[in-house]
Amino acid sequence: MNKKKLMILAIILGSLLLLCGLVLVLKKDIKLELNGKANISINVNDKYKDEKVSACYGNMFKCKKISYTTFGNVDTTKIGTYKIRYRATYNKKSKSVTRTVKVVDKNKPKLTINTKEFSICPNGKLKNYDYKAEDNLDGEITDKVNVKVEYDKIVFTIQDKAKNLTKKTFDYKKEDSEAPKITLNGKDNIYLLVGDAYNEEGVTVTDDCDDLADKVKTTGTVDTSKPGTYTITYEVSDEAGNNAKVTRTVTVYNKNVDVTPSEKTIYLTFDDGPGPYTARLLDILKKYNVKATFFVTNQYPAYESMITREAQEGHSVAIHTYTHNYSYVYSSVENYFADLNNMQEKIKRLTGKETRLVRFPGGSSNTISRKYSSGIMSTLANELEARGYKYFDWNVVSGDAGDTTSTSQIIANVTSNLRSSYTNVLQHDVKGYSVDAVEAIIQYGLTHGYHFAPLDVTSPGAHQRINN
């Protein structure tokens, strides 16, 4: 009986299991499965193609395709972990699955080495090598390159933020064949008036292997109490015996001395002022005891007190015109002299005396005046002489009247054209860049045997040919 009961129980249990299985197999539900892998890793900037999911509703015998919704997206330009979730809803049931996509940087940095032959200093110091490192994400990272010597190789390594590593190794020699670089601090040519202090500015030394800042040998001295040309030599050698040298010239000279103009006389003349730069110019002239000539106008009356100063400091004050207006002064002899008299009165008021010295706007050879009155320059030249005036042109142009605005060019134009007899230089003290050239012109003149003088009625006229 026991055996029979057991069999019945087994049959009942077996039937229940079968029934349950049948229910399970036939029961309808949402089936949602990822196509492709659940975890994906892609390189930054690579294309990401979503493989989607398979979604259906039914049982193992029959399953009907249903729609689903996708949430989230992948930015392949940015490193990070992205989740894509898919959800299917059907018959009040809902199911979702998730895929993880990692965007990672697998690109190694690019390391470009331009140096062809490698050497290190005898003392083990590395030299300056020419290389560049760039990374797809970090940009230029040349400053992150690590250079070191490992046994018989020189090793360059660069790692980007994602730890991708690029490494290059090279053979090297141990040598120092490059000379130190030595450069002067301050000017290579210094001009000093007798009695001025000489300030030693030294040199700057660089070397690819050694620190030579304290190894410079300086020879030569400057005696600022004696006119002359002094040379200071700076010399340095590195540990390997490579040598470098540089020199500085210091010229000590006397102030301009007042002598009777004869040979090698420079007449500095300044037209169109006074103006905003005249005071600065007068300071420079005073420093070197150089007297000049100012052909003045009334164009900038705010600076008229400079005319007084010019006269007080021993310069020649001369007439250029009152208005500097070509169409007015060159339209008739009457206009010219009316204008001239205005300037003469002003000069007399400011300096206490009249002047006999004149310069025409544009010079006596100007052709612009033809536009206003034919033959007027010849008439004016004669008439000035008849009235006791002396007119001046020039024989060296500084170039400041329009063709150059460069101070160094003005200095070159003047110093390279000085005459052995006399030089009448045309400049304009209403131009700052021209005033800036005066000190160097004076220094050049004084150290090359010239002297400077103001114009007076006995000075040469430097006349050009009258063309109208």
Number of Cβ atoms within 10 Å of the Cβ of 428: 19
Pick the stretch among 58-66, 99-107, 265-273, 455-463 that binds Zn ion (CB under 5 A).
Answer: 265-273
Choice between 251 and 321, CB closer to Zn ion? 321
* Residue 428 falls in the annotated catalytic set: yes
Compute how many other C-beta atoms are within 10 angstroms of the C-beta atom of residue 376: 21
Name the one range near Zn ion by CB under 5 A: 168-176, 177-185, 234-242, 266-274. Answer: 266-274
- Segments of 160-291 assigned E as strands: 165-171, 173-174, 181-184, 189-193, 203-206, 217-219, 228-237, 243-253, 265-271
Structure tokens at 217: 């040998």
User: What is the closest distance, in whole angstroms, from the C-beta atom of residue 188 to Zn ion in the complex?
Assistant: 36
CB of 367 to Zn ion, least distance (A): 15
Provide the token pair at 370: 């033809």
CB of 278 to Zn ion, least distance (A): 14
Helix (H) or strand (E) holding 341, with range, is: helix 333-351
- Show contacts with Zn ion in window 276-305 (CB under 5 A): none
Name the active-site residue from 160, 176, 320, 428. 428
CB of 302 to Zn ion, least distance (A): 18
365: amino acid identity, one letter: S
Q: Is the peptide bond before 301 cis (omega within 30 degrees of 0)?
A: no
274 vs 361, beta carbon nearer Zn ion: 361
Between CA 348 and CA 4 the distance in angstroms is 155
Question: Using CA atoms, how far apart are residues 342 and 133, in angstroms rounded to an integer?
Answer: 74
Q: Which of 261, 361, 399, 454 lies at the binding interface for Zn ion (CB under 5 A)?
A: 361
C-beta of 180 vs 361, nearer to Zn ion: 361
Q: How far is the CB of 272 from Zn ion (least distance, A)?
A: 5
In the 8-state DSSP scheme, what is residue 200?
Answer: -
When the beta carbons of 84 and 296 are compared against Zn ion, the nearer one is 296
- Catalytic residue, chosen from 207, 238, 271, 272, is 271
- Nearer CB in complex with Zn ion: 248/431: 431
Instruction: From 198-206, 270-278, 336-344, 376-384, give the range in contact with Zn ion by CB under 5 A.
Output: 270-278
Q: Which is nearer to Zn ion, 123 or 464 (CB)?
A: 464
Closest CA to 120 of 153, 145, 144, 146: 153
Report the nearest approach of Zn ion to the CB of residue 420 (Å): 28
User: Residue 449: left (phi > 0), alpha (psi -120 to 50), or beta?
Assistant: left
Distance CA 416, CA 441 (A): 10
Region near Zn ion per CB under 5 A, out of 176-184, 251-259, 264-272, 373-381: 264-272
Give the bridge partners for 159, in sequence order: 165
Q: Does 429 bind Zn ion (CB under 5 A)?
A: no
* Residue 393 binding Zn ion, by CB under 5 A: no
Instruction: Please choose, out of 188-196, 354-362, 364-372, 382-390, the segment that lies near Zn ion by the rule CB under 5 A.
Output: 354-362
Residue 318 CB, shortest distance to Zn ion, in Å, is 12
Of 271 and 310, nearer to Zn ion (C-beta) is 271
Contact (Cβ atoms closer than 8 angstroms) between residue 268 and residue 292: yes
Tell me if residue 271 is catalytic: yes
Q: Applying CB under 5 A, what is the total number of residues that bind Zn ion? A: 3
Three-class secondary structure of residue 415 per DSSP? helix
- Rounded to an integer, what is the distance from CA 64 to the centroid of its chain? 74
Considering only 135, 238, 272, 436, the residue that binds Zn ion (CB under 5 A) is 272
- CA 313/CA 284 separation, integer angstroms: 12
256 or 369: whose CB is closer to Zn ion? 369
Q: Of 252, 261, 258, 251, nearest to 289 (Cα)?
A: 258
Secondary structure (3-state) at 56: strand
Minimum CB distance to Zn ion smaller for 109 or for 361:
361
Alpha carbon of residue 447 to chain centroid = 34
Per rule CB under 5 A, is residue 271 in the interface with Zn ion?
yes
> Please, what is the minimum distance in Å from the beta carbon of residue 464 to Zn ion?
15
Integer angstrom CA distances of residue 333 from 125, 330, 339, 356, 387:
82, 7, 10, 18, 13
Identify whether 180 is preceded by a cis peptide bond (ω within 30 of 0).
Answer: no
Residue nearest to Zn ion (CB): 271
Contact 55, 67 (CB under 8 A): yes
**Least distance (Å) between residue 127 CB and Zn ion:** 60
Q: Which spans of this chain sit near Zn ion (rule: CB under 5 A)? A: 271-272, 361
Which residues are designated catalytic? 271, 428
